[in-house]
């Protein structure tokens, strides 16, 4: 039953964004089919090492500056939007000012939410449609860029959601995301976890 739910979830994730392309005329039916098949062949999970203390203590707690950080398990998000990214999720995103850089950040506001600063000189504003507000967990890492520096983040710049941080083969931690994300990711994690290896 778990594998059936897994393939249903994966198929839905692969079909939905490509279906929009098909109906809008951006994709032919052949391209639609090819994209869906290619997406289903790729695992939904992958690992990557992130350095820096921007997300400490959640990720890289106690890792000295300049050293490789923890490996994280990431769930790819094919078509990130309000339907797949939720408040309090820890996501991997591309820097909107430098597409060579990727960050791990926490989503703290969604489209339509009003942002009010502690600084009375800042003017309140609402998060625009198709965007969210992401921040670092470690307020002491003042050089680490987040939405306070680059503004609202387009959902299109989100690559995935962090599920685990791995310090060693015997020392790993499940990352607590939103309840919606934890429920959706559970099925993918249960089926693909064995494929991750080291």
Same domain, 36 and 50: no
Q: Which of 145, 107, 104, 157 shows the shortest CA–CA distance to 127? A: 107
Same domain, 89 and 21: no
State how far the alpha carbon of 121 is from the alpha carbons of 116, 118, 187, in Å.
11, 9, 46
CA angle at 130 for the pair 157 and 134, rounded to the nearest 5°: 55
Domain count, the chain: 2
Same domain, 65 and 136: yes
Calpha distance 114→155 (Å, rounded):
17
Note down the domain range covering 131: 45-195
Local confidence band at 193 (pLDDT 50, 70, 90 cut-offs): confident
Same domain, 158 and 77: yes
Same domain, 116 and 156: yes
CA angle at 156 for the pair 74 and 193, rounded to the nearest 5°: 15
pLDDT of amino acid 197: 60
Same domain, 127 and 169: yes
In this structure, of 14-18, 116-120, 147-151, 163-167, the range with the lowest mean pLDDT score is 116-120
Calpha distance 177→53 (Å, rounded):
19
Same domain, 139 and 179: yes
Local confidence band at 77 (pLDDT 50, 70, 90 cut-offs): very high
pLDDT in tens, 99-130: 899 999 999 999 999 988 888 888 889 999 99
The beta-strand segments (E) located in 22-64 are 45-49
Same domain, 95 and 188: yes
């Amino acid at each position: 039953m778990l594998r059936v739910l897994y393939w249903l979830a994966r198929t839905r994730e692969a079909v939905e964004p490509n279906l929009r392309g098909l109906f809008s005329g951006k994709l032919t039916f052949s391209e639609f089919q090819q994209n869906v098949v290619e997406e289903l062949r790729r695992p939904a999970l992958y690992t990557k090492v992130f350095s820096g203390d921007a997300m400490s203590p959640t990720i890289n707690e106690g890792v000295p500056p300049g050293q490789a950080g923890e490996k994280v398990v990431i769930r790819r998000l094919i078509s990130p939007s309000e339907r797949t990214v939720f408040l309090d999720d820890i996501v991997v995103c591309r820097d909107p000012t430098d597409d060579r850089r990727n960050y791990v950040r926490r989503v703290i506001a969604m489209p339509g939410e009003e942002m009010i600063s502690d600084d009375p000189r800042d003017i309140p504003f609402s998060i625009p449609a198709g965007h969210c507000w992401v921040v670092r967990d470690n307020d002491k890492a003042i050089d680490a860029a987040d939405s306070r520096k680059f503004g609202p983040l387009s959902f299109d710049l989100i690559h995935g959601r962090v599920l685990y941080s791995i310090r060693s083969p015997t020392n790993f931690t499940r990352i607590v995301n939103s309840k919606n994300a934890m429920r959706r990711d559970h099925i993918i994690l249960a089926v693909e976890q064995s494929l991750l290896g080291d």
